[in-house]
């Protein structure tokens, strides 16, 4: 399987691009089946009307007729559940990419970890090399839909008085946003403080918002350059605030691409897993021991202590000190993407030998 470019694949959703194929290699069903080697690329749970990945055009698709089926999970489903589902599809020879890593699961030889949202974000945005060093605000914190760890961060900004020196948004316009009360475990850390929600920073100029007047979940795919040009540091609040799944989505992709120092609020061990992917974190200027704290609220509390500690230091000195780390991570993002793509291509070639 040396002539990779001659392979043609059936991939209506064009997810074949994520497997290392080029757009000219994506063909219709009849053309794909007429190839010496027939390959299909489909999202997981494409045939489940109850799943967001449901694709009705695949309903009658017979996967048994393909020599190889490539299944793509862009979220963080469990590998065990996905393999059980794959066994119901009739696919004889298959590979699977997963978007999350669970600490209690060992990857099957046919499964490859690929942080889909991190890499897709990289496809959609161009990097920048230089940024203004003199910025009027300390932190940018764009919290998205309601989650316990995001409630904690919002209350932390209120209690610490850092709202005035930061750009913090906690909108109620995103998928999954609700007006439920703050959890008792979080609220007891902030006695007497009522969370401001929804909240849009008075420091925000609407012209800095991405996508112009369109504000919904799709803005997560864009870099808020105008906001970041005015803030020194970032808060990362990934989708998962606890549990044993490592999810590296577009939020870390943005910070890495844009050379941002960040404090992470989410699941335990997240920074450790990020370093295992070849990225560096900021132990030289932060106490990142919070990453190993098993209790959720205690972990978020210790992380916010680092937010407050950093806020009392000269931000320009901090950024100069960590510039080698920021540069390394910026370049590692592209390197990691290329390495993963090559891994997928090698796996496909092995399956077709």
Per-residue pLDDT reduced to its tens digit, 173-216: 877 767 889 999 999 999 999 999 999 999 999 888 876 566 76
Query: DSSP state, 173?
Result: -
64, burial (CB in 10 Å: exposed 0-12, middle 13-18, buried 19+) = exposed
Query: What's the pLDDT at 91?
Result: 96
Concatenate the DSSP letters of all residues of 77-101 into one string. --HHHHHHHHTTTT-SSEEEEESEE
Give the Cβ contact number of residue 269 at 10 Å. Answer: 17
Angle (nearest 5°) at CA 55 between 341 and 43: 20
Any idea what DSSP says for residue 163?
G
Rounded distance between C-alpha atoms, residue 249 and residue 76, angstroms: 10
CA distances from 159 to 181, 192, 281, 296, 305 (A): 18, 10, 27, 19, 12
pLDDT number for residue 351: 94
Residue 186 and residue 178: Cα distance in Å, rounded? 16
pLDDT of residue 217: 66
Q: Are 232 and 312 in contact, with CB atoms under 8 Å apart?
A: no
SS3 assignment, position 308: helix
Q: How far apart (Å, rounded) are the C-alpha atoms in residues 194 and 184?
A: 12
pLDDT at residue 120, rounded to an integer:
83
Half-sphere exposure of 221 (CA within 13 A, CB side): 12
The span from the CA of 126 to the CA of 132, in Å, is 17
Residue ranges of the chain with per-residue pLDDT less than 50: none
265 DSSP β-pair partners = 237
3-state secondary structure of 112: strand
Closest to 98 (Cα-Cα) out of 84, 90, 110: 110
> Helices in 112-220 by DSSP H: which ranges?
116-124, 148-160, 184-187
List of residues 6+ apart from 333 with CB closer than 8 A: 118, 122, 253, 256, 257
Select from 178, 167, 163 the least CA-distant residue to 205: 167
CA distances, 7 to each of 61, 66, 296 (Å): 20, 13, 48
- Burial status of residue 161 (CB atoms within 10 A of its CB: 0-12, 13-18, 19 or more): exposed
CA 27 to chain centre: 29
CA–CA dist 336, 334 (Å, integer) = 5
Cβ-contact 71, 94 below 8 angstroms? yes
User: Does the CA dihedral 348-54-85-338 come out positive or negative?
Assistant: positive
Using alpha carbons, select from 330, 140, 124, 334 the residue that is nearest to residue 211: 124
Please report the pLDDT score of residue 133 as a whole number: 86
pTM score: 0.93
């Amino acid at each position: 399987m040396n002539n990779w470019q001659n392979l043609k694949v059936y991939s209506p959703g064009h997810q074949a691009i994520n497997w290392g194929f080029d757009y000219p290699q994506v063909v219709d069903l009849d053309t794909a089946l007429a190839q010496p080697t027939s390959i299909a690329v489909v999202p997981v749970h494409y045939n489940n009307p109850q799943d967001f990945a449901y694709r009705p055009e695949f309903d009658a698709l017979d996967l048994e007729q393909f020599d190889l089926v490539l299944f793509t999970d862009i979220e963080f489903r469990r590998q065990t559940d996905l393999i059980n589902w794959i066994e119901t599809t009739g696919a004889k020879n298959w590979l699977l990419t997963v978007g999350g890593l669970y600490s209690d699961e060992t990857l099957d030889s046919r499964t490859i970890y690929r942080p889909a949202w991190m890499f897709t974000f990289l496809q959609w945005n161009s990097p920048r090399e230089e940024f203004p060093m003199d910025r009027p605000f300390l932190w940018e914190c764009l919290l998205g839909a309601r989650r316990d760890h995001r409630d904690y961060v919002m209350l932390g900004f209120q209690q610490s008085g850092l709202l005035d020196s930061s750009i913090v948004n906690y909108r109620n316009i995103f998928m999954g946003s609700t007006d439920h009360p703050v959890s008792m475990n979080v609220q007891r850390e902030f006695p007497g403080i009522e969370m401001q929600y929804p909240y849009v920073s008075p420091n925000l100029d609407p012209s800095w918002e991405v996508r112009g007047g369109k504000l919904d979940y799709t803005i997560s795919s864009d870099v808020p350059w105008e906001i970041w040009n005015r803030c020194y540091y970032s808060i990362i609040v990934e989708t998962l605030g606890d549990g044993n799944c490592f999810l590296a989505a577009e939020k870390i992709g943005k910070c890495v691409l844009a050379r941002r120092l960040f404090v992470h609020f989410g699941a335990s061990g997240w920074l450790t897993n990020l370093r295992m992917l070849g990225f560096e974190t900021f132990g030289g200027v932060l106490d990142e021991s919070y990453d190993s704290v098993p209790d959720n609220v205690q972990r978020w509390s210790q992380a916010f202590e680092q937010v407050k500690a950093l806020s009392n230091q000269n931000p320009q000195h901090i950024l100069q000190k960590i510039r080698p780390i920021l540069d390394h991570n910026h370049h590692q993002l592209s390197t990691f993407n290329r390495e993963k793509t090559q891994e997928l291509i090698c796996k496909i070639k092995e399956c077709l030998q």
